[in-house]
Structure 1
Amino acid sequence: MRTIDLRGRTLSPAELLAAVPRATEARAAALHAAAEIVDDVRARGEASLREQAERFDRVAGHAVRVPAAHIAEAIDGLDPQVRAALEESIRRVRQASAAQVPAPRVTEIGPGARVTQRWQPVSRVGVYVPGGKAVYPSSVVMNVVPAQVAGVGSIALASPPQAEFDGRVHPTILAAAGLLGVTEVYAMGGAGAIGALAYGVASLGLDPVDVVTGPGNNFVAAAKRAVAGVVGTDSEAGATEILIVADESGDARLIAYDLVSQAEHDEQASAVLVTTSAELAAAVEREVAEVAAATRHRERVATALAGEQSAIVLVDDAAAAEAFSNAYAPEHLELHLVDAPAAAARYTSAGALFIGPYAPVSLGDYLSGSNHVLPTGGQARYAAGLGAATFLRPQQLIEYDREALAQVRDGIVALSASEALPAHGEAVVARFTAPGGAAGGGA
């Protein structure tokens, strides 16, 4: 891992953003390629998806729309321990997601004047579950459960076809979908799947969705940007990121394990340590080399850690660490600090915060009850992770009786005239004028 030494420097917000390690060229290239793939799916539908499956997944002639029998077989063949873990994850995520659904609220503006706030679920959602370098049944849970809790009535799920399973979606992903009652599943992956969910594919019986969600690589994240405005999307949950902020109290070996745990996702994964301690930085560097060399995906990890998106960052003090972290706005933020619970309030920009040595990102990936579909690429400065709110639209219901409208009639007329929109005021005045122009009763 490279070292970025920011000690002895006072950086402006713009300079901090420039210092953040990002794989910007990879993201730019992904956006261009993803837009072309989405456009091709929109134009050619199933033919485009099949060509992409052959090109990217080495699969041909497969059932793009998954038969119900495949889902049933996957449930029957699911390892009992994995099933138990999935069911516990479902329970925990359902419990935490339920807390995100607001109750309707009525505000009495005045006598006879009422505004009701309600949250309506979208009708149909498309969820994407990656299936390239790893298998993500946990992402089935993280996408589907909040949608169900929000009240979404129609859910379509897409995941790449697997050459080793004769073009089927990975059976563990299928089983997770089956446990949640999702029966509309498609064997399609990458940017093409996002385009298919957004625009629909008539030959597959795939109707367009209202919202597309789910994590993936940079191409999946870029495809969401390409369909934004056609459908709603969650934040761009692209190649994973972990930022660890640690002081001299940090355990170098635990920090190394956590950096490696995220680097194993993908060669584009970001692993960053920010610390005030040069001694800890050196110790972590040694431990990372040892842990990475022993892990199963050591080559992938080595590529991610050597990339421009990964680094050890040295800063002068806690305030500098906070400023750097908030500028970076990581997907996952771990705090290995003496005063981690108190310090957490000052770390305002992160997809999710993991506080203390017993809350690793791996916990959030599976069984914390929180959602692991989180914004990447700095979007945590303004975007939220996936949750029930992703699938809800706030709506206001306005109810005024005649007397309540009369109270604001003159104000509406005055404001409409000031905006040169007199018909607005006339529409209100008309409600107090009898047919034929005679004044109506009341105010």
Structure 2
Amino acid sequence: MSIPIILTNRVDSSLYRKYLKSAKSDLKDATEKILPILRSVETEGDLALRRFTETFDGIQLESIVWNPMDVQVHIDPDIEKAFLKAKENIESFHRAQLRKDWSIQVDGNRLGVKHSPIPSLSVYAPGGTALYPSSVLMGVIPAIIAGVPEIQLVTPPQKEGLPPILVWLAKILGIKRIITVGGAQGIAACAYGTESVPKSEFVVGPGNTYVAAAKSYLAGLGLIGIDSPAGPSEVCIIADESANPMWLACDMLSQAEHGEDSSAILLTDSEALAKEVSRELEKAFEERPKRLAMKKKAIYENSAILVMPNIEECISFSNELAPEHLEIQTKNPEQVFAGILHAGSVFLGPYSPVAMGDYISGTNHILPTARGSRIYSSLGVDTFLKRVTFQEISRESLSRLYPYVKTMSELEGLDEEHGTSVKVRTEGHQH
């Protein structure tokens, strides 16, 4: 068995249509299963959280909420150094995103925008084998820069207690509350609030299908804001004959390592390169057996190498795919990048693997998946800022523009009050 190498073109779309299908998991079944959980948390609060935690995690909660300052932990100095460096880079990149308030004169009136942060945030951190402490940095740092006043971490309980790395991260980030409830019940606690868990207006962070279903459902009800609907991790790579086939294989496998439902699509105009990458993948399976079954399933069932007539067709296909991660490994990556319309995050040149953005470069790795980058952007400071528009109308402008308001309000049948509210001000009645 080997990864499919497909020679295709834009006309014969039947050969690759399957790779344009949304990679997002079907949340219908998961949503049906979590609805009773959400309702129980809404009505029973902490009692439901304790019951579901014992049922799903096999743990009787000693406490639902922890103050990380009360927990002593020891972290390996090398791990501290790595995360502090990542924190520094993420802060530098996200500070540059901070918006300034502004105003302009339009037709004699002062109009403008004032930015204000959302009031509260929960950052979900998965537990067990899916513990991704780097995602805590990605979720919390832009929110702090945006000025969000209330931030809490939410994570499934562990039999060994709180993961030391999460406690340490909470301390260095200034987070004063860790909620030890996971799954759909943890998201519900954030959305509804309980006796112990303060309600949050916004929830971000990765999680399993039930977490994703809970976030999407509760966001649909308007109870919380979320980053974007989440699906399996994915990468698309555009490469020409100048690319290193071993490096390309490594980058495809780095996505396959996330889970068996992950996907890696290589788009190239070189059949020779395609064959080399396929050989390198097989070689890697023999040399690096960790998570082998998972990686093989992701590569053999969800991934492909598509050989296109030219790089322009690769760009076109990538824009249709709208991938979470896009690597461009060509002779002139900037020229290719100029044609890219949709991608969560783009990695330019041979020395820019996705793993750099995952951990250390400073960009955010919480990204839209499942073709979501057509309408969503990566998590950033903007995610946590609201725009409030304002206007200060001058007396002269009000009188001059009233005839237009009169005409438009009459057309819409709202002239009696809308039109009058402007008209009375033109008549000079003041108190």
The TM-score with structure 1 as length reference comes to 0.89
Displacement of 1:69:
5.0
1:258 shift after superposition: 1.3
Deviation readout 1:297-337 (Å, 9 max, x if unpaired)? 22322232233x32222322212211221111111111111
Once the two structures are TM-superposed, the CA of residue 173 in structure 1 deviates from its matched residue by 1.8
Letter in 2 for 1:83: E
In structure 2, distance between residues paired with 1:390 and 1:264: 28
Distance in structure 1 (CA, Å) of the matches to 2:17 and 2:423: 54
**What is the DSSP-based 3-state SS (H/G/I as helix, E as strand, rest coil) of the residue aligned with 1:244?**
strand
Counterpart pick for 2:299 among 278, 285, 305:
305
SS at structure 1 position matched to 2:86: helix
Equivalent pair of 2:104/2:110 in contact (CA under 8 Å): yes
Query: Which residue does 2:264 correspond to in 1?
Result: 271
Deviation at 1:252, TM superposition (A): 1.3
Q: Give the letter aligned to residue 104 of structure 1.
A: D
CA 1:36/1:162 → structure 2, altered by over 3 Å: closer, same or farther?
same
- SS of the residue corresponding to residue 161 of structure 1 reads coil
Matches for 1:131-142 after TM superposition, within 5 Å:
131-142=127-138
Q: Is the 8 A contact 1:216 1:239 kept in 2?
A: no
Which AA in structure 1 matches 2:53?
A
The farther-off stretch of 48-57 and 284-293 is 48-57
Contact 2:228 2:376 in 1 (8 A): yes
Equivalent residue, structure 1, for 2:4: 3
Shift of 1:68: 3.4
- Once the two structures are TM-superposed, the CA of residue 18 in structure 1 deviates from its matched residue by 4.9
**In the aligned structure 1, how far is the partner of 2:4 from the partner of 2:122?**
41
Residues 264 and 304 in structure 2, CA contact (< 8 A), matched pair in contact too: yes
Q: Distance in 1 between matches of 2:116 and 2:17?
A: 37
Q: Distance in 2 between matches of 1:374 and 1:66?
A: 29
The structural deviation recorded for 1:220 is 2.6
Deviation at 1:348, TM superposition (A): 1.4
For residues 37-70 of structure 1, what are the alpha-carbon distances to aligned partners after superposition, in whole Å with 9 as ceiling and x for unaligned?
4344334433433344344434333422124355
Residues 263-288 of structure 1: CA distance to partner in whole angstroms, max 9, x if unpaired?
A: 22222222222222222222222222
1:57 equivalenced with 2:53 (yes/no): no
Code of the aligned partner of 1:105: W
Select the residue among 326, 348, 368 that pairs with 2:319.
326
Q: Give, in whole Å, the separation in 1 of the partners of 2:59 and 2:112.
A: 52
Aligned partners of 1:80 and 1:189: how far apart in 2?
Answer: 29
> How far has the Cα of 1:196 moved from its partner?
1.7
- 1:93–1:371 Cα contact (<8 Å) kept: yes
2-side partners of 1:143 and 1:28: how far apart?
27
Residues 221-370 of structure 1: pairs in structure 2 closer than 5 A:
221-228=212-219, 229-293=222-286, 294-307=288-301, 309-370=302-363
How far off its partner does 1:34 sit?
Answer: 4.4
One-letter code of the match for 1:125?
A: L
Q: Deviations over 1:115-174 (max 9, x none)?
A: 1211110111111122232331111110000000001000011112223x1xx3322122
Give the number of aligned pairs.
Answer: 426
In the TM superposition, what is the alpha-carbon distance from 1:434 to its structure 2 partner? 5.9
Once the two structures are TM-superposed, the CA of residue 181 in structure 1 deviates from its matched residue by: 0.6
> RMSD across aligned C-alpha pairs, in angstroms?
2.4
CA contact (8 A) 2:322 2:374 kept: yes
Report the CA distance shift for 1:434/1:21 in structure 2 as closer, same or farther (over 3 A).
closer
**Residue 4 (structure 1) shift:** 5.9
Partner of 2:425: 431
Aligned: 1:103 with 2:100: yes
Question: Which SS does the other structure have where 1:133 is aligned?
Answer: helix
The equivalent residue for 2:41 is: 41
The CA distance in 2 between the partners of 1:106 and 1:424, in whole Å, is 25
* Cα contact 1:235–1:375 (8 A) shared by 2: yes
Q: CA deviation at 1:23?
A: 4.8
- Distance change >3 Å, CA 150–CA 39, structure 1 → 2: same
CA distance, structure 2, for counterparts of residue 285 and residue 400 of structure 1: 65
Distance 1:162 1:259 in 2: 32
Higher mean displacement: 117-126 or 280-289: 280-289
82-91 or 294-303, which moves further after superposition? Answer: 294-303
C-alpha separation between the residues in 2 aligned to 1:4 and 1:37?
44
SS of 1:140 mapped into structure 2: helix
Structure 2 gaps, min length 5? none
Distance 1:23 1:351, change over 3 A: closer
Cα distance between partner residues in 2 of 1:151 and 1:226: 27
Question: What percentage of residue pairs aligned between the two structures are identical?
Answer: 34
Which residue is equivalent to 1:220? 211
